[in-house]
Chain A
Amino acid sequence: MPPESSDLLQGTLEMLVLKALTLEPMHGWGIGHRIGQLSRDALEVQQGSLYPALQRMLRKGWITSEWRVTEHNRRARYYRLTRAGRRQLETEAAAWARASAAVNVILRARPAEG
C-alpha cells in the first residue's frame, strides 16, 4: 500500500516534472514513477493529472516530445526538457524555496506570552 500521498498543486506538479526530466528524457509513466522514487514514495502523482500537465507544458514550450522505441520494443512517447524549461525550473524552484520558507516562519511562530 503506498504511503499517504498529498495532493499536488498544478504548478508544483509541473515543477516536479521538470526536475524529473533534468536527468534524462522519459515517457509519461516513467516520469510519474520517477517522481515517486525521488520523493522516496512520499508523493504519488495522480496519473489522471499528469498527462494534462504534460500537454500544458508542451504548449508552453518547456518540454518537447517524440515517439521512440523502448527497451522492450514498444512504442512510447518520450518527453525532453528544453532550455526554456530549464530556466523555468530554476525560476520555480527559487520561488518555491521563498514561499516555503515564509510558510515555515509563520508555522514556527509562537503566540506572544502574557
Chain B
Amino acid sequence: MSLLSDLGQRLRALVFRRRLERELTEEMAFHLERETAARIQAGADPDRARREAVRAFGGQAAWREATRDARGTRYLDDLGRDLRHALRGLRRSPGFTATVILTLGLGIGANTAMFNVVDRLMFRPLAYLRDPGSVHRVYWQQLDRGAVATYMSTPYARYLDLERWTTSFARMAGFSERDLAVGEGETARERRVGVVSASYFDFFDARPALGRFFSHDEDLPPRGAAVAVLSHAFWQSEFGGRDVLDQVLQVGDTRARIIGVAPRGFAGVNDANPPALWLPITTFAGSPGDRGASDARLFATSYQSSWMHIMVRRRPGVSREEAEADATQALAQSWRAAVAQDPRTPTPEQADPRVVLSSVRPGAGPVPALEARTATWVLAVAAIVLLIALANVANLSLGRALERQRETSLRLALGVSRWRLVRHALAESLLLALLGGVAALLVAHWAGAAIRRMLIATAAGVPVWADGRTLGVTLVLAIVTGVVVGVVPTLVSGRGDLASSLRGGARGGVSGGHRLRGSLLVIQAALSVMLLIGAALFVRSLQAVRALPMGYEPERVLLVNRILRGQVFQDSTAAQMRRLLMETARGIPGVESVAWMSSAPFVSTSNTDLFVPGVDSVAQLGTFTFQATTPDYFRTMGTRILRGRGLADADQRGAPAVAGVSESMARVLWPTEDAIGRCFRMRSDTMPCTTVVGIAEDMVQRELTGTQRFHYYVSIDQYTRTWGNGMLVRLRGDPVVEAEGVRRTLQRVMPGASYVTVLPLQTIVGDARRSWRLGATMFTAFGVLALVVAAVGLYGIISYRVTQRLHELGVRAALGARHTDLLRLVVGQSLRLAVAGVVVGMLLALLTSRWVEPLLFRQSGTDPVVYGAVSGLMLVVAVVASVVPARRAARVDPNAALRAEGA
C-alpha cells in the first residue's frame, strides 16, 4: 500500500477526529440494532435480545480503542494529550518555566549564532559550485629557515607551469582580488574586483543572467581582453538591471566592456566579501597599474611576485594524494625553472616545496585566518556555556521532580507504567526545549548579527532563521536538550522506596537526587571558572597589546595613498608629483609635518638584498625592511632618534648615500661597535656603501607580536626603486575629522583620472589589534553569561535545600542555635559547593592552558594572579547567591517549622 495514502488517511483521521467519532458511534448503534433484530427474529424477547447483542459485541471502550488504534492515530493522539497536560503543568509554575526557557534560549542561541559563523567561514559549500568534493584550493609548503611554512599565493608563471606539467586535474583556475576604482569622475568608488581566469566560471553551475562569461582567448598572456562580468547585486544597484551589454566601464586602469552579468547569489570563491565585478586575470596582471610597465610584461614568466591563488578540480578516479604527488613533482620542475631564472632562489632540494590540496575555504585549510581560528574557539566556548545551561536546567528539573516525589510515587503505586511517566516527563521537557529553541533563534538573530560583523567583515547575509542548516542545528540541539533534561530527573526520582516516599513527604526525599544536584552544580561552577579564567587571560592579553610601545605615535597621523589609474610616471615626473603633493599638504592649515613613505605599517613592507661587510649572510639573521622616505619621517611618525641624526635635505641624489637604522638592527649587525659610521650595500654587492648616520627607536612595522624590528631608512631621492608610495601627514587636530578636508585639497592637484585616498593610521593599527580585542570581547561576554547562569543555579539549589531542611533548622533553632550559626550553616554549604567547583575549574583550566597560550600575548596561560582573582570572584558570587536563602534560614520560627510537615 502506498505510504502516501496511508499517511493521508492518518492525517485525515487526526483532523476530522470528532466527525469520525460520531460516525463510529452511529455505526455501532446500527450494528447493535441489526444484531438485536436478528436475535428477536430468532425468538428472544426484545430486552434480552438487546442485552445479548451488547454482550456479544464486547467491551465498547476496548472496541473504540482498538478501532482508533487501527486508524493509526493512537500515538499522535497520546502525544497531543501529553503535550496539553505538559503545557498546563508548565503554566502552573511560571518561575520555573521562564528560567528554563531563558537559560536554554541563551545556551542554544549562543551555539546557533556561533555555528552560523563557523559554518560560513569553514564548512558551507560555495554557492553554485559543482561537485564540491573534487574541488580544492592549492596551498604551497616549503622549508623556510628550518620550519615548514604554508602559503596560498603564487606567481602566475607557476600557474602556467602546473597546467603544463600535471595530468591529474580536469580543470584549473587562477584567481585573486583587488580593491580598484570603478567608474569615472565623481561617481568613481573603490570596489572589490575579482580577477579570474576564464576557466574559473567553469567550476560553477552558474548560467549568466545576461550575456556570457569570459572565453578562453580573452584571457591569454601577455595581456587579456578588456572585458568585464558584473555581479548581480552590482548590476541591480548601479545599473538598475538594464541591458548593459557592450557598455564601457572604467575599472582601475582598464576601460572594460561589459560582456555579461552573473546570476543572483553568485559570489565565486569569496562569499564573505563578494566582488562587484570580475576581470580576466591576465587583463589585470598585464595592465601597467602602479607597478611600472616593465613588470606587467613579465608577469607570465617571472617568479618574483606571488599574488594569485589556484583552484583545481581532480579528474574522476584520481585521489587527493595522487593529485598532490603529481602537483608536487610539477612544482619541483617549476622551482628548477625559477632557479634557472634567478640563481639566488633556494633549490628544490633545499626548500622541499610541496603542494597541499585542501579546502577551498581558507578557514578550513592548513592556514586558517585569524577569524576562522577565533570563531572555532568561540564555538567551543559556546558549547561549554550550553553544557552549563543544560546542567542548570537539569538541576531545576530535578528539583521539580523531587518536589513532586510524592505525586510520582502515588501514581506508580496506582499502577501507572514507568514508561508512561517517562513519556510525560519527556513531553514536558520537549515542550520546554522547543520553546527554548524558539527563544534561541531570537537570541541568535540579535547576537548573531553583532558577532558576524566582528568575525566576518560583511554583516550581510541570510537571517539566522531563514538559513536551513542553522535551523537544523538548532532543532537538533533543542531535541537533544529536551531528551537529556527530561529523562535524567525522572529516572532518578522514580527510584527509591515507594512506601517511604509516600509516607514521608519532603522529609523522605531521595538522597541520590541531592547528590546529583550537588555534582551538577559543581560542574557548572567548574565550567564557569574555566571560562572566566580564559576571559581574564584574554583581557590581560589585550591590555598588554595596547600597552606595547609602537615606536611611533599613530593617533594623529593620516595615511595618504595615490591611485594612479593609468597615469605612468617616469622617475623625474614621479619626483615632481611627490614634491607637489608634499608642498600642498604642508600648506593645509592644521598640518604639523609631512613625510613620504614607501610602505605603510601593517600594510606592506619593502625589502631588498643587504650586504654588510663582516657579516656572512645577512638573510640568516632575519628580515630587514626599509623605508624610502623624506627628512621629516621620524618627526611625522613621532619616532625618537636615539643617536645621530635623521635624514636631511642635503641627502639628495649625488650626495653620499646615508641611512638611519633601528636600534635592534644596529645591535644585531654591529654588536660590539657603534653602528654610526658603519656602512652597508643595498641590492647588490657592487653598489656604493650606504653609511649609517643615525639610530632610531624600534618601530612596529609588520606584526605586533613579532620580535624582529630590523628596519632602516634611506632617502627616497637617493634610492628610488620602490612602489606603492604614499604620504604621511601629521595633524594638530583629530584625523577623523580633518581627513575629508585633506583629501579634497590633495585631490585638486592630482592629474587626470588619478585620485587619493586618506585613512587615519589609527584605524590600521586598531585592525592589527583586532584578534586580541576579539578574543577578549567574546570570552568576557561568554564568561559573564556562564557566571550568571551558574549563580542562578546555585541560588536555586541552596534555596531549595533550605526549604527542604526547614524542619531540621527549626529543630536546631529550638535546641539553641543562634542566627549566626544557622547563617553559617547555609552559607557554608554554598561555599563548599563553590570551592569544589573552583578546584575542578582550575584543574580544567590548567589542562587546557596549553591550547590557549598561542592565542595570548605575553601572557602565561597559568598566571596565578588570574587564577586567584577568578577563584575569589566565584566564592564571592557563591556567598551572594546564598544570602537570601540564608536569611530565610536564620529567621526560621522553630514552632512553625516543627509543626509543619514540610512541603
Interface residues of A (CB under 8 A from B): 27-30, 33, 46-49, 51-53, 55-56, 58-62, 67, 74-77, 84
Q: Provide the residues of chain A in CB contact with B35, threshold 8 Å.
A: 29, 47
User: In chain B, residues 325-354, which have Cβ atoms closer than 8 Å to a Cβ of chain A?
Assistant: none
- List chain A residues, Cβ under 8 A from B5: 61
Please give the distance in Å from A78's CB to the nearest CB on chain B: 11
How distant is the Cα of A90 from the Cα of B26 in the complex, in angstroms?
Answer: 32
Q: Please measure, in the bound complex, the distance between the C-alpha atom of A67 and the C-alpha atom of B31, giving whole angstroms.
A: 14
Q: Which of B1-35 contact A (CB under 8 A)?
A: 1-2, 5-6, 9-10, 23, 26-28, 30-31, 33-35
| A77 with B23: CB separation less than 8 A | yes
Interface of chain B residues 57 through 77 with chain A (CB within 8 A): 57-59, 62-63, 66-67, 69-72
Inter-chain contact A59/B30, CB cutoff 8 Å: no
Partner pick for B31 among A29, A53, A59, A61, CB 8 A cutoff: A29
Known: A47-B57, A48-B63, A48-B66. 9 other contacts (CB 8 A): A29-B30, A47-B35, A47-B56, A47-B58, A48-B62, A51-B66, A59-B6, A75-B26, A84-B1
Closest 6 CB pairs of A and B: A48-B58, A55-B70, A52-B66, A52-B70, A29-B34, A60-B1
Contact B57 A48 (CB under 8 A): yes
Partner of A48, one of B1, B9, B23, B59: B59
Residue from A29, A51, A60, A77 within 8 A of B67 (CB atoms): A51
The complex places the Cα of A29 from the Cα of B59 at a distance, in Å, of 17
Determine chain A's interface SS by DSSP, over half rule: helix
Question: Do the beta carbons of B9 and A59 come within 8 Å of each other?
Answer: yes
A47 touches B31 (CB 8 A): yes
Q: Which of A28, A59, A61 has the most CB of B within 10 A?
A: A59
B71 in contact with A55 (CB, 8 Å):
yes
Closest chain-B Cβ to A88's Cβ sits at a distance in Å of: 9
Q: How many Å from the CB of B846 to the closest CB on chain A?
A: 62
Query: In the complex, A77→B5 CA distance in Å?
Result: 21
How far, in angstroms, from A52 to B63 measured CA to CA in the complex?
A: 7
Residue of B nearest to A56 (CB): B70
Q: Is the CB of A51 within 8 A of B63?
A: yes
| Minimal Cβ-Cβ distance residue in A for B27 | A77
Number of cross-chain contacts by CB at 8 Å: 65
Chain B residues with Cβ below 8 Å from A47 are 31, 35, 56-58
Partner of B70, one of A27, A46, A53: A53
Partner of B69, one of A52, A58, A62, A74: A52
Contact partner, B27, options A28, A46, A56, A61, Cβ 8 Å: A28
Q: Which residue of A lies closest to B23 (CB)?
A: A77
Can you sample 30 A-B contacts with CB below 8 Å? A28-B30, A28-B31, A29-B34, A29-B35, A33-B38, A47-B31, A47-B56, A47-B58, A48-B66, A49-B66, A51-B66, A52-B66, A52-B69, A52-B70, A53-B70, A59-B1, A59-B6, A59-B9, A59-B10, A59-B70, A59-B71, A60-B1, A61-B1, A61-B2, A62-B1, A75-B26, A75-B30, A77-B26, A77-B27, A84-B1
A55's closest neighbor in chain B, by CB? B70
Q: Are A51 and B30 in contact (CB under 8 A)?
A: no
Alpha-carbon gap, A47 to B60, bound state (A) = 11
Instruction: For residue A3, give the distance in angstroms from its CB to the closest CB of chain B.
Output: 14
Taking the nearest CB of chain B, how far is it from the CB of A47, in angstroms?
A: 5
Q: Is the Cβ of A58 less than 8 Å from the Cβ of B9?
A: yes
Which chain B positions have C-beta within 8 A of A29? Answer: 30-31, 34-35
Which interface residue of A27, A33, A48 has the most chain B CB atoms within 10 A?
Answer: A48
Complex Cα spacing A49 to B65, Å = 11
Nearest chain A CB to B658's CB is how many angstroms away?
A: 97
Q: Footprint of A on B, CB under 8 Å?
A: 1-2, 5-6, 9-10, 23, 26-28, 30-31, 33-35, 38, 56-59, 62-63, 66-67, 69-72
Q: Could you say which residues of chain A place their CB within 8 Å of the CB of B9? A: 58-59
Chain A residue nearest in CB terms to B35: A29
Q: Is the interface of B mostly helix, strand, loop or mixed?
A: helix
Nearest CB to that of B56 among chain A residues?
A47
**Roughly how many angstroms separate A60 CA and B71 CA in the complex, as a whole number?**
10
CA A93 – CA B34 in complex, angstroms? 30
Cβ of A52: which chain B residues have Cβ within 8 Å of it?
A: 63, 66-67, 69-70
Which of chain A's residues have a CB closer than 8 A to the CB of B28?
51
Q: Please measure, in the bound complex, the distance between the C-alpha atom of A114 and the C-alpha atom of B372, giving whole angstroms.
A: 86
The smallest C-beta distance from A21 to any residue of chain B, in angstroms, reads: 16
Instruction: Give every chain B residue within 8 A of A56 (Cβ-Cβ).
Output: 70
Of A33, A46, A60, which contacts B58 at CB under 8 A? A46
Complex Cα spacing A56 to B71, Å: 6
Q: How far is the CA of A77 from the CA of B27 in the complex (A)?
A: 7
- Shortest distance in angstroms between B66's beta carbon and chain A's nearest beta carbon? 4
Which chain B residue shows the least CB distance to A51?
Answer: B67
Q: How many angstroms from the CA of A53 to the CA of B38 in the assembled complex?
A: 23
- Supposing A29-B35, A47-B58, A55-B71 touch, asked if A60 and B30 sit within 8 A by C-beta, the answer is no
* Residue from A47, A60, A74, A77 with most neighbouring chain B CB atoms (10 Å): A47
Name the A residues within 8 Å of B57 (CB-CB): 47-48
| Separation of A84 and B33 alpha carbons in the complex (Å) | 32
Nearest-CB distance from A54 to chain B (Å)?
A: 8
Q: Which residues of B contact A76 (CB under 8 A)?
A: 27, 30
Nearest-CB residue, chain A, relative to B63: A48
Q: Give the chain B neighbours of A61 by CB distance below 8 A.
A: 1-2, 5-6
Nearest neighbor of A61 in chain B, beta-carbon distance: B1
Select from chain B the residue with minimum beta-carbon distance to A62.
B1
Considering the chains assembled together, what is the distance between the CA atoms of A60 and B23 in angstroms?
20
In the bound complex, residues from chain A placing their C-beta under 8 Å from that of B1 are 59-62, 84
Residues of A contacting B27 with CB < 8 Å? 28, 51, 76-77
For residue A51, give the distance in angstroms from its CB to the closest CB of chain B: 5
User: Which A residues are in CB contact (< 8 Å) with B6?
Assistant: 59-61
Closest B residue to A53 by beta carbon equals: B70
Q: Separation in Å of the B797 CB from the closest CB of chain A?
A: 50
Contacts of B34 in A (CB 8 A): 29-30
Q: How far is the CA of A33 from the CA of B63 in the complex (A)?
A: 19
A62 neighbours in B (Cβ, 8 Å): 1
Q: Which residues on B sit within 8 Å (CB–CB) of A77? A: 23, 26-27, 30
Shortest CB-to-CB span from B22 to chain A, Å, is 11
**B30 to chain A: which residues have CB within 8 Å?**
27-29, 74-77
| CB nearest to B30 among chain A residues | A76
Taking a contact as CB atoms under 8 Å apart, the answer to whether B72 and A59 are in contact is yes
Return A31 CB to nearest CB of chain B, in Å.
10
Q: How many Å lie between the Cα of A27 and that of B31 in the bound state?
A: 9
Residues of B within 8 A of A51 (CB): 27-28, 63, 66-67
Q: Give Cα A75 to B71, complex, Å.
A: 22
Cα separation A67 to B35 with both chains bound (whole Å): 19
Name which residue of chain B comes closest to A70, CB basis.
Answer: B30
- For A49, list chain B residues within 8 Å (CB): 66
In the complex, residue of chain A having the shortest beta-carbon distance to the beta carbon of B58: A48
Residues from chain A with a CB closer than 8 A to the CB of B31 are: 28-29, 47
Q: Which residues of B lie under 8 Å from residue A60 when comparing CB positions?
A: 1, 6
- B59 CB contacts on chain A under 8 angstroms: 48
CB distance from B10 to the nearest CB of A (A): 8
- Shortest C-beta distance, B889 to chain A (Å), equals 60
Task: Tell me the smallest distance from the CB of B477 to a CB of chain A, in Å.
Answer: 35
Identify the closest chain B residue to A33 (Cβ): B38
A60 to chain B, nearest CB (A): 4
CB nearest to A67 among chain B residues: B23
Q: Which residue of A52, A60, A74 has the most chain B CB atoms within 10 A of its CB atom?
A: A52
How long is the Cα–Cα vector from A56 to B1 in the complex, in angstroms? 12
Closest to A77 in B: B27
For the complex, what is the distance from the CA of A42 to the CA of B625, rounded to whole Å?
Answer: 107
Q: Bound state CA distance, A29 and B56, in angstroms?
A: 12
Alpha-carbon distance A62/B10, docked complex (angstroms): 16
Interface centre among B5, B34, B69, B71 (most CB of A within 10 A): B34
In Å, the complex CA distance between A55 and B762 comes to 78
Report the separation of the CA atoms of residues A55 and B72 in the bound assembly, to the nearest whole angstrom. 9
When distances are taken between beta carbons in the complex, the residues of chain B under 8 Å from A67 are 23
Residues of A within 8 A of B72 (CB): 59
Q: How far is the CA of A29 from the CA of B26 in the complex (A)?
A: 13
In this complex, what residue of A is CB-closest to B38? A33
Q: How far is the CB of B6 from chain A (nearest CB, A)?
A: 6
